[in-house]
Amino acid sequence: MPSVGDTKTVFGRTYVYSNPNQALGPGTWLLSDGEGSLSGEQQTEHKVYGQAVVDSSSIAIHKGMLVYINEAGNAVAASAASLESSRVVGVAIDPANVGQIVQFTQNTAFEFFNAISITDEASSTLDVGQPYYLSSDNPGKWTKNPTRDDASIEVLQCGTAVNEYYMAIDIQPLALKAEVESAARIAGDAALSARIDVLEADPTTATAVANSIAAVNASIASETTARTDADALLMPKTGGTFSGAISGPEPVADSDLATKKFVIDEIAAIPAVDFNLDYGEYA
């Protein structure tokens, strides 16, 4: 059983397997334009918003690719890699090579039977309900995951997948990054403020906050008492009077302190001198 989007060539003609509504029965093979899209009368009619010659600097335009118009008035595969190339004017209705005329459309439900060749994800079907953006990696292509952390990349939403094979084309205005960032921050602040208001009014939250504050205050009081008691037992560097006995290690170095008892014991250990001996006489 073929899958929707599969193609085959018979007697020089290319066909694509299609089934727009699976609830009505199995699909069928329909004549294709060679790129996996319906052709001729089988193809959905789209209003032509404009047309231009494909510029020599552009890649070949595939059906469904996003295009912009350069300063020369020619069509080029669009890219989010720069401000100029992000000014999308529409979606290519039919394929066109360099030097050929490409027609483009906007604001319509566009068939994506060739999604595998015009999306970064290279999937045969679209992700239903997912917004799609202009790719910064592959000119003309769509992507579900635009690059947002590079200051040189423009983020431009161009449509939303309404089902697996159709995209609702809705090219958003290209805003300055500063404006986008400002709007995002304002919206974020408003959301945070609203959430804080809810939390402040919530009795459970209020009780938890009050208990936390009480616990912190008790901890501070305990620490203050401990520090005060410890300070009372310290001997200041500027001097003071000890109220109790002092002991310490036996002095060894010249700078070590010595107690009175240590000094007395050292003196007592000196051998006594017999002053009754005559000069030259030994005890």
Considering the domain boundaries, does residue 249 fall inside one? no
Question: For the chain, how many structural domains are there in total?
Answer: 2
Residue 241 lies in a domain: no
Instruction: Tell me: do 63 and 157 sit in the same domain.
Output: yes
Dmax over Cα atoms in the chain, in whole Å?
Answer: 146
Average pLDDT over residues 214-223: 93
Distances (CA, A) of 166 to 30, 35, 96, 110, 124: 17, 16, 21, 5, 12
Do 130 and 205 sit in the same domain of this protein?
A: no
Predicted confidence (pLDDT) per residue in 152-203, tens digit: 677 889 999 988 888 989 888 765 555 656 767 888 888 888 888 887 777 7
Which structural domain range is residue 198 located in? 179-225
Is residue 88 one of the residues assigned to a domain?
A: yes
Write out pLDDT tens, residues 123-138: 999 999 899 999 999 9
pLDDT band of residue 35 (cuts 50, 70, 90) is very low
- Looking at the fold, whether 208 and 165 belong to one and the same domain comes out as no
pTM greater than 0.75 (yes/no): no
Are 63 and 146 within one domain?
yes
Last residue of a domain, one of 174, 205, 238: 174
Answer whether residue 67 is part of any domain: yes
Residues 159 and 185 grouped into a single domain: no
The answer to whether residue 116 sits within a structural domain is yes
* Tokens 């030097």 -> residue: 99
Main-chain dihedrals φ then ψ at residue 157, nearest 5 degrees:
-80, 135
Mean pLDDT across 275-280: 63
Shared domain for 90 and 161, answered yes or no, is: yes
Residue 36: is its pLDDT beyond 50? no
